Chain A
Amino acid sequence: MTIALQYDTAHLIGAMVLLFGFQLLYQRRIKAVLSTFALQAGALSLAAAWQAYIQNAPHLYVTAAIALVFKAFFVPFALNWLVKRLGIHRSVETALGVGPTMLIGVVLVALSIMLVLPVTQGASALTRENLALAMSVVLLGLLMMITRHNAVTQVVGFMALENGLILAAVGVKGMPLVVEMSVAFSVLVAMILFGIFFFRIRERFDSLELHYLETVRGDRL
């Protein structure tokens, strides 16, 4: 296999992750958001597997497996179950319209490319492109967290951000497995915490809207 093919494929899969990141931004229904997130995690798992293949790094297969099992199946499934179980509102509440959010997303991608490409001069082309894509995914995840009201979408934004981190990690040669493992487990713990958190909010307020939380903070009493 030629270097060019390796590079193009890695680039293609990375771009898929980014594309799903964009797709997360314009979903109107919670269920669609969760499905898109599952697709993104699947793409991430593919990216990890491809990197494992071309870098000859078998531990990356473990990363790919973790991403596939936990993030593509378990997390969306659990969140779906939570949404159904809690019977919460099924539509996404936006703080900023879809159009402007997409525009900002494009700007963010441009910014990360502008930043990463000059900064990483000297690294291999593969790593550079990969880093730029990963950073865009991270920024899009953050953007999602701040432009959506509902707690579930915030959790998904956080997980998408984390997907970006993994994407960056797998692209770099010699990243030890322990880093990815710890990131994956921290996400799992966060997921559990968020789950408990949802129950508690729901119990109190019959809603997952964050603005109910703002009135009970200690400093406002």
Chain B
Amino acid sequence: MTAQALLAVAVLPFLTMLAMVLHRRENTPSLVHAACFAVSCILGLIGALAVLKGGADHVQLPVGLPWLKAHFRIDGFSGFFLVIINLGAAAASLFGMTYVRHLKHPARVAVAYPMFLAGMNMALMSDDAFSFLVSWEFMSASSWLMVLADHEEEENRKAAFTYLIMALFGTFCLLGAFGILAQAGGGYDFTSMRAAKLDGLQSSLVVLLGLLGAGSKAGLVPLHAWLPLAHPAAPSHVSALMSGVMTKVALYALARLLFDFGPTPAWWWGAIIMVLGGITAVVGILYALMQTDLKRLLAYSTVENVGVVLIGLGVALAFKGEGKTSYAALALAASLYHMLNHSVMKSLLFLGAGAVLASTGERNIEKLGGLIHRMPVTAAAFLVGAAAISALPPLNGFVSEWLILQSLFLGPKIPNWAMKFGSPVVAALLALSAALAAATFVRAFGMVFLGRARSVAAETAHEVSLSMRAVLVFLAGLCALLGIVPVTVTSQLSGVAQNLIKAQLSETIVQGWPWLAPISETRGSYSGTVLVASVVILILGTVAVIKGFGTRNIRRGPAWDCGHKEASPNFQYSASSFAQPLRRVYGATLFSAKEEVDMPMPNETRPALLTLRLIDPVWQGIYQPLANGVANLANRLNRLQTMTVRRHLLMMFLTLLLMLIVAALRRVVP
């Protein structure tokens, strides 16, 4: 099975070559995306088979480092992630087929796109640190190229530079984590890392480095600053992949490090990750609420959802560390579920934003509006995605966030006071972030699709191509399906989680189809199926009653215009005014938000001005000093480059001497 998957991945580099050779042909990018669609479908099916079959399939290739070779392995866990990745990849490829025609430089995207898919898939299949890191870097570098696809814009170059630095930092941290595991386990293949015996300090270092490395890729606050710059800068279908899918590869790496390698880290690491996740969720969604750029808003919402997943992973780790493995499996299954859901809904939303961008050329939601009339299918699909990501039943976002909340409520079962008190607090953060997400997406949907057009571009927009709409409808349907039949999904997921945690979900999860009752029937149960069925029956009943007994006389009249004749679209609520109450409550401290009103005197004729200033404390507090420090150091080291010939020789001589002395000392003092 792994061999077949590798064969499928091996097609992708050829697609890159094809894109390079035929870069002048106009339809090459579409062709490449179509081929990528086919490959992703195959890989997704292989992943699904691996989940259903369980067990692991290992393949060793005679390439790579001579003493290591290249190991690849697909088990249920990586199979599940293959499904997530390739579901998103297939949707994005199909969407990209016609979307690339709207891009300025489709050939640049077509070259890097297959390598990006290959990198992500290989990272999931890798079974040794070397192949993993190489694939990981492929993933970073090729997505970096796509962020740079439109490098004529200053902003994109900056975003790409920040991204590159953070990607290098992340890889460096992961390298450290693997190094420690390899030293303790005796080899760089994951098999020996699984059996590694770590002491407390080493295990803590592995978790810390893993959290920094994978967290910086996934968008953990405060390492998230690059994400809302880089994700929106790429073409929309690539943004969908980076946000919906690449963050999952990072979370996959973190989950492997936490649950699969070496002994279980101490419970308090779970508590730390849980709290970090809570902070990430709330801060991410608050940022999202302030944005006026649609794609940046979605990128910040990704930060929030990564936080939600991290809460689940943290709880699972804490339970596992305290020996309550069945609860741990529940929390892990819940966060896996949320990863799947987030990948589907974030792909849907980003592709929806791509459709809006393609037909209006506008990302600023202050300049959109009224698109529901001109792009009805896109609007409906986007609405489903927005409702799902705001955790509204009966859609998929609700089920997974509810499951994570349920596992948080089990926190007091851990016999220490930090978790007893901490988990309800994090539960409150999670609930707050869900509420803020609802506000964010009401704002986003309302500004983009409702009201009246705020610009000519929005007024003259038209619906996108059939294949793009088909993808949006398919993903919206998937959002609904994953929410309506949660039990079918969780029974597969719990198998995956049980294998990783090595525990039975004995007293938990299913009480019988279609009721999802993670703890016990009396504590809480949910059935999307029954809910939808009853809602549908109620609606049909109401319609029947109205149609049957109500009056048939319909009268259409003009809408009330609030007393303003011929009101300009500027009279509408704007995105900034919608966010104002929440900005005043949270923004003043968190973003040092300042509003200044410049009101003209009674007989002046100039317009009044409202200036709004937001300061991102993360940039000021962490990134700026760090960047300055690095630049300083580089300047100093630069002198080494312009030394005299004799000094160069001297440096070599001193290095040689130092190494000789070390060698001599190692002999003398063994």
Binding site for B on A (CB under 8 A): 95, 108, 111-112, 114-115, 118-119, 139, 142-143, 145-146, 149, 210-211, 213-214, 217, 219-220
Q: With a CB–CB cut-off of 8 A, which chain B residues contact A211?
A: 644
Q: With a CB–CB cut-off of 8 A, which chain A residues contact B660?
A: 111-112, 115
Complex Cα spacing A115 to B657, Å: 11
Q: Is the CB of B667 within 8 A of A220?
A: no
Complex Cα spacing A35 to B122, Å: 64
A142: min CB distance to chain B, Å: 5
Q: Is the CB of A210 within 8 A of B657?
A: no
Complex Cα spacing A75 to B660, Å: 31
Which of B82-90, B215-223, B648-656 lies at the interface with chain A?
Answer: B648-656
Q: Is the CB of B661 within 8 A of A213?
A: no
B65 within 8 A of A: no
Q: Is the CB of B663 within 8 A of A149?
A: no
Complex Cα spacing A213 to B643, Å: 12
Q: Contacts A115-B660, A115-B663, A210-B646 given: A143-B653 contact, CB under 8 Å?
A: yes
Q: With a CB–CB cut-off of 8 A, which chain A residues contact B668?
A: 114, 118
Complex Cα spacing A25 to B522, Å: 92
Q: With a CB–CB cut-off of 8 A, which chain A residues contact B551?
A: none
Q: Is the CB of A146 within 8 A of B641?
A: no
Interface residues of A, dominant DSSP: helix
B642 within 8 A of A: yes
Complex Cα spacing A29 to B652, Å: 27
Q: Is the CB of B646 within 8 A of A111?
A: no
Complex Cα spacing A129 to B660, Å: 17
Q: With a CB–CB cut-off of 8 A, which chain A residues contact B653?
A: 142-143, 145-146
Q: Is the CB of B644 within 8 A of A210?
A: yes
Q: With a CB–CB cut-off of 8 A, which chain B residues contact A108?
A: 657
Q: With a CB–CB cut-off of 8 A, which chain A residues contact B649?
A: 142, 145-146
Q: How many residues of B contact A (CB 8 A)?
A: 17
Complex Cα spacing A210 to B645, Å: 8
Complex Cα spacing A149 to B641, Å: 20
Q: Is the CB of B645 within 8 A of A213?
A: yes
Q: Which of A119, A146, A219 contacts B667 (CB 8 A)?
A: A119
Q: Is the CB of B667 within 8 A of A118?
A: yes
Q: Can you name 30 A-B pairs with beta carbons within 8 Å?
A: A95-B646, A111-B660, A111-B661, A111-B664, A112-B660, A114-B664, A114-B668, A115-B660, A115-B663, A115-B664, A115-B667, A118-B667, A118-B668, A119-B663, A119-B667, A139-B656, A142-B649, A142-B653, A142-B656, A143-B653, A145-B649, A145-B653, A146-B646, A146-B650, A146-B653, A149-B646, A210-B645, A210-B646, A213-B645, A214-B644
A97: min CB distance to chain B, Å: 15
Q: Is the CB of B645 within 8 A of A214?
A: yes
Complex Cα spacing A31 to B657, Å: 30
B646: min CB distance to chain A, Å: 6
- The 6 tightest CB contacts between A and B, nearest first, are A118-B667, A115-B664, A146-B650, A146-B649, A142-B653, A214-B644
Q: With a CB–CB cut-off of 8 A, which chain A residues contact B645?
A: 210, 213-214
Complex Cα spacing A200 to B9, Å: 56
Q: Which residue of A lies closest to B661 (CB)?
A: A111
Q: Which residue of B lies closest to A158 (CB)?
A: B649
Q: With a CB–CB cut-off of 8 A, which chain B residues contact A139?
A: 656-657
Complex Cα spacing A143 to B641, Å: 22
Can you name 8 extra interface pairs (CB under 8 A) apart from A119-B663, A149-B646?
Answer: A111-B664, A112-B660, A114-B668, A118-B667, A146-B653, A210-B644, A213-B645, A214-B644
Complex Cα spacing A193 to B653, Å: 23
Q: Which residue of A lies closest to B641 (CB)?
A: A219
Complex Cα spacing A95 to B653, Å: 15
Complex Cα spacing A119 to B666, Å: 10
Q: Which residue of B lies closest to A149 (CB)?
A: B646
Complex Cα spacing A143 to B645, Å: 14
Q: With a CB–CB cut-off of 8 A, which chain B residues contact A219?
A: 641-642
Interface residues of B, dominant DSSP: helix
Complex Cα spacing A142 to B655, Å: 12
Complex Cα spacing A210 to B650, Å: 14
Q: With a CB–CB cut-off of 8 A, which chain A residues contact B664?
A: 111, 114-115, 118
Which residues 606-658 in B have Cβ within 8 Å of A in the complex? 641-642, 644-646, 649-650, 652-653, 656-657
A25: min CB distance to chain B, Å: 14
Query: Which one of A119, A143, A146, A210 has the greatest number of beta carbons of chain B within 10 Å?
Result: A146
Q: With a CB–CB cut-off of 8 A, which chain A residues contact B667?
A: 115, 118-119
Q: With a CB–CB cut-off of 8 A, which chain A residues contact B646?
A: 95, 145-146, 149, 210
Q: With a CB–CB cut-off of 8 A, which chain B residues contact A119?
A: 663, 667
Q: With a CB–CB cut-off of 8 A, which chain A residues contact B650?
A: 146
Q: With a CB–CB cut-off of 8 A, which chain B residues contact A111?
A: 657, 660-661, 664
Q: With a CB–CB cut-off of 8 A, which chain B residues contact A145?
A: 646, 649, 653
Complex Cα spacing A112 to B664, Å: 9
A214: min CB distance to chain B, Å: 5
Complex Cα spacing A143 to B652, Å: 11
A41: min CB distance to chain B, Å: 22
B634: min CB distance to chain A, Å: 15
Complex Cα spacing A146 to B657, Å: 13
Q: With a CB–CB cut-off of 8 A, which chain A residues contact B642?
A: 217, 219-220
B652: min CB distance to chain A, Å: 8
Complex Cα spacing A114 to B644, Å: 32
A96: min CB distance to chain B, Å: 10
Q: With a CB–CB cut-off of 8 A, which chain B residues contact A115?
A: 660, 663-664, 667
Complex Cα spacing A119 to B667, Å: 7
Complex Cα spacing A163 to B644, Å: 26
A107: min CB distance to chain B, Å: 9
B578: min CB distance to chain A, Å: 55
Complex Cα spacing A109 to B30, Å: 70
B30: min CB distance to chain A, Å: 45
Q: With a CB–CB cut-off of 8 A, which chain B residues contact A214?
A: 644-645
Q: With a CB–CB cut-off of 8 A, which chain A residues contact B644?
A: 210-211, 214
Complex Cα spacing A7 to B657, Å: 29
A141: min CB distance to chain B, Å: 10
Complex Cα spacing A145 to B642, Å: 19
Which residues 533-578 in B have Cβ within 8 Å of A in the complex? none
Complex Cα spacing A214 to B661, Å: 32
Q: Which residue of A lies closest to B643 (CB)?
A: A214
Complex Cα spacing A108 to B652, Å: 15
Complex Cα spacing A149 to B647, Å: 11
A60: min CB distance to chain B, Å: 28
Q: With a CB–CB cut-off of 8 A, which chain B residues contact A213?
A: 645
Q: With a CB–CB cut-off of 8 A, which chain A residues contact B652?
A: 142
Q: With a CB–CB cut-off of 8 A, which chain B residues contact A142?
A: 649, 652-653, 656
Q: With a CB–CB cut-off of 8 A, which chain B residues contact A220?
A: 642
Complex Cα spacing A115 to B664, Å: 5
Complex Cα spacing A95 to B650, Å: 12
Q: With a CB–CB cut-off of 8 A, which chain B residues contact A118?
A: 664, 667-668
Q: With a CB–CB cut-off of 8 A, which chain A residues contact B663?
A: 115, 119
Query: Which one of B646, B657, B667 has the greatest number of beta carbons of chain A within 10 Å?
Result: B646
Query: Which one of B656, B660, B668 has the greatest number of beta carbons of chain A within 10 Å?
Result: B660
A113: min CB distance to chain B, Å: 10
Complex Cα spacing A139 to B649, Å: 12
Complex Cα spacing A111 to B662, Å: 11
Q: Which residue of A lies closest to B663 (CB)?
A: A115
Q: With a CB–CB cut-off of 8 A, which chain B residues contact A210?
A: 644-646
B637: min CB distance to chain A, Å: 14
B664: min CB distance to chain A, Å: 4
